[in-house]
Amino acid sequence: MFRSRRARIRSTVTAIAATGVLALTACAGGSGDEGSDGPVTLDFAFWGNDVRAEMYDEAIAAFNEEFPDIKVNVSFLGFPEFWEKRQIESTSGGLPDVMQFDYSYLRQYSENGLLLDLGPHLGEGIDTDPIDEKILDIGVVNDTTYGIATSTNAWTLYQNPKLLESIGAAPYEGGGSWEDYTDWVQATTDAAAAAGQPIYGGTDFTGRIQNFELQLRAQGSYLFNDDGEPGFDEDDLRAFWEQGAPFREGAGVPQQRLEEVYPLSGFDSAITASELTWDNFGAGYLGNLGEGYTELLLVEPPITEEGAKDLYLKPSMLHTISANTEHPEEAVELLNFLVNAPEVGAAFGTNRGLPASETQLEGVELGGLEAQIQEYEESISDRLGDPPAVPIVGYGSLEEKFRVIGTDLGLGVVTVDEAVEQFFTEMDVVLNQ
Amino acid sequence: MTATTAARPIGTRRQPTRKRVATIVWAVALTLLTLLVLYPLVWLVFSTFKPSSEFGSNPGLFPESPTLQNYVKVAEGIGGTPLWRFFGNSLLIASIAVVGTLISSSMAAYAFARIRFKGVGVFFAAMIGTLLLPFHVLIIPQYIVFQKLGLIDTYVPLLIGKFLAVEAFFVFLMVQFIRGLPRELDEAARIDGAGHIRTFVSIILPLIKPALITSAIFSFIWTWNDFLGPLLYITSPEKYPLPIALRLYNDATSTSDYGATVAVSMLALVPILLFFIVFQRFLVAGVATQGLKG
């Protein structure tokens, strides 16, 4: 209104031109790093904390000594944020070249074509000799290898010897039946009460889906098969959750007490003397328990069926390469180094679990706990069966639902029947996605 | 208070006591309520002096064996990046965001409030409509655009919107403010030969200062606390702002350093607290003036 028509047209043209220039500059920025034969830059992402970040720095420095022409941009986040970011990136082909990867996402990402088929590189760029066949199989989805496991862990029963000593109780010997273990927990809780200490024998094991899986495997079944079909029905689940009744009636630590210390577990907080979990949790336990505790005990979990191969080795993490990488050869070099190099073993110790590759294991100086874990994994070798099918899409949320229902059972807000119904409803939703 | 005292000629003996009792009851109740609300903050302050291993065993307020170790640890930085770097990044992003928001939002607001261009009503409604659009709907398309433009791992995706007046809340706030200013001022300026730019800079801007300050404060606090944006667009740890950095001490899959987490959370709160204390006078004034006309 204030200005003439011509002036207005002029300003409109300027505005359009300016927008165009902006867009052009932006485009130029996008194609900047193409067509260079010299140094190659790879993006590498992992989840972890400051401690692990320093270990990776050391590992990448060792890699650069061998491959000075490959520059590695390292990026890291906490576990949930890491996956949030990957989920968004995967929509636009923006995934990092090499990734530390979690087993539970392997199926989803590989079935969506986001990961590089490592098959042609096995034995070529990736040295497979030092890795057990069974462990290599872990990274296979629908007959194609998409990931290499860095390390493995197995299900175990951790105990806190110092805590047991303080209440004058003997540790659980390992094995035995689930009832034996329940009785031992009750006895330990009683002993603690007699000693006047607010300590408990253990946590309700029916809160963890892995214990359910263990019992199913012992009976020749599984949680989910490759087609995503469950290997159990309502009655199986009901029977399992009913085993937890003695714990909820006072044998184990009250759920309310556990809520107070969450996100730490009862075992982390020195209020329970035993916990069933993955064997790579040991270092974390010691860290969270603090300086007063230096020793842990690990024994095999209770046996459901004598002679059954119910335990298995799970990858604590894998390494994968994104399908859209511009430098697959170099990415393979990096992956191979991270999986096999003894220098990497030296940098990490067992931070990522017990190294799966023998050459990498050679670089690891096994301390007290690490040696114990290695011994443990050797001791259970005749109970080790084939790994289960790669987790179905949505397994993570089912595992979490299982945990939440376990908490509700512990708090007494749902009955076992209601719990079973809730879980099956959730499972329907996840399986039919 | 004084007004009531003056207007109370009879029965002055009893009433003050009753009044005083009521006041005391109110004060006590409010103090208790404040303590209740502030407790998490106080807990945070005290917890920064707890050793990490105490977090499981002692959920109480006071540390059993107080230590400065958490601050020492935090000062060392994360994975080779010093802590001040994260502060610097946050400060840089937040400052540029404030500048961008003020410039672009005030210009957009001026246009909406004072210029009668074609489709002003539709555009205004569309702008208000964006307030109803959840951010999560936009994430993926936005990410793809910035990814194709090669702008990932730069601050451009975080800041460009601030210079394009995409924060409808601020635009709306300023539009309402400008609408409250008498048009005669503009007309007087126009008679003196001022164009839009002159009117905007010399007449409107000085008059909407309270709205500008309010926007600046909110914009600063929101950007400082923003987590999702930097999480998506920033890849290099040395470019992370504080909200991302403070999560790096926690790893659900191995050890979590709760001591360091609370210490760095505490430090991250300080600038916001300072910013608020310095500007709270303006903030209250800004909010209070929003309802006034003319």
Q: Looking at residue B24, what is its pLDDT?
A: 92
Residues A191 and A128 in one domain: no
What separation in angstroms does the CA of B82 have from each of A37, A253, B156?
Answer: 34, 42, 23
Residues A178 and A289 in one domain: yes
Residues A235 and A280 in one domain: yes
A74 touches chain B (CB under 8 A): yes
Residues A307 and A345 in one domain: no
Q: How far apart are CA A246 and CA A240, in angstroms?
A: 12
Q: How far apart are CA B148 and CA A23, in angstroms?
A: 11
Residues A72 and A166 in one domain: no
Q: Write out pLDDT tens, residues A35-60.
A: 445 689 999 999 888 888 888 999 99
Residue of A73, A264, A291 with shortest CB distance to B56: A264
Residue of B55, B148, B251 with shortest CB distance to A78: B251
Residues A166 and A272 in one domain: yes
Q: Write out pLDDT tens, residues B169-212.
A: 999 999 999 999 999 999 999 999 999 999 999 999 999 988 89
Q: Write out pLDDT tens, residues B37-64.
A: 988 888 888 888 888 777 766 777 788 8
Q: Verify whether the Cβ–Cβ distance A52 to B251 is below 8 Å.
A: yes
Judge whether A24 lies within some domain: no
| Stretch 90-109 of chain A: residues touching chain B, C-beta under 8 Å | 91-94, 96
Number of domains in chain A: 2
Residues A278 and A413 in one domain: yes
CB-count exposure of residue B184 (10 Å: 0-12, 13-18, 19+):
exposed
Show pLDDT as tens, one digit a residue, over chain B (294 residues): 444 444 455 545 556 677 889 999 999 999 999 989 988 888 888 888 888 777 766 777 788 878 888 888 788 777 778 888 999 999 999 999 999 999 999 999 999 999 988 999 999 999 999 888 887 788 888 899 998 898 989 999 999 999 998 889 999 999 999 999 999 999 999 999 999 999 999 999 999 988 898 898 889 989 998 988 999 899 888 899 988 888 887 765 556 677 888 888 888 888 888 877 887 777 666 555 554 544
A198 touches chain B (CB under 8 A): no
Q: How many of the other CB atoms lie within 10 Å of CB of A415?
A: 12
Residues A49 and A123 in one domain: yes
Q: Verify whether the Cβ–Cβ distance B149 to A27 is below 8 Å.
A: yes
Q: Verify whether the Cβ–Cβ distance A92 to B254 is below 8 Å.
A: no
Residues A184 and A211 in one domain: yes
Q: Are strands A70-77 and A40-47 parallel, antiparallel or unpaired?
A: parallel
Residue of B51, B55, B247 with shortest CB distance to A264: B55
Residues A326 and A403 in one domain: no
Summarize the confidence of residues A116-128 as an average pLDDT: 91
Judge whether A25 lies within some domain: no
Residues A216 and A278 in one domain: yes
Judge whether A340 lies within some domain: yes
Q: Which residues of B touch A269 (CB under 8 A)?
A: 56-57
pLDDT score of A14 more than 60: no
Q: Verify whether the Cβ–Cβ distance A77 to B56 is below 8 Å.
A: no
Distance from CA of A363 to the nearest CA of B (A): 21
CATH at A79: 3.40.190.10
Q: Which has more pLDDT, A81 or B197?
A: B197
Summarize the confidence of residues A272-295 as an average pLDDT: 87
Go through the domains of chain B in sequence order and give each one's CATH number: 22-66 (no CATH), 80-291 (1.10.3720.10)
Site of tokens 């990736």: A126
Judge whether A15 lies within some domain: no
Q: Verify whether the Cβ–Cβ distance A29 to B54 is below 8 Å.
A: no
Q: Looking at residue A138, what is its pLDDT?
A: 85
The domain containing residue A75 runs over which residues?
Answer: 40-151+315-378
pLDDT score of A249 more than 50: yes
CA dihedral A169, A172, A173, A179 (to 10 degrees): 130
Judge whether A215 lies within some domain: yes
Summarize the confidence of residues A247-255 as an average pLDDT: 91
Q: Verify whether the Cβ–Cβ distance A79 to B116 is below 8 Å.
A: no
Q: Looking at residue A349, what is its pLDDT?
A: 80
Q: Looking at residue B6, what is its pLDDT?
A: 47
Judge whether A295 lies within some domain: yes
Q: What's the complex ipTM?
A: 0.73
Judge whether A4 lies within some domain: no
Judge whether A27 lies within some domain: no
Residues A173 and A295 in one domain: yes
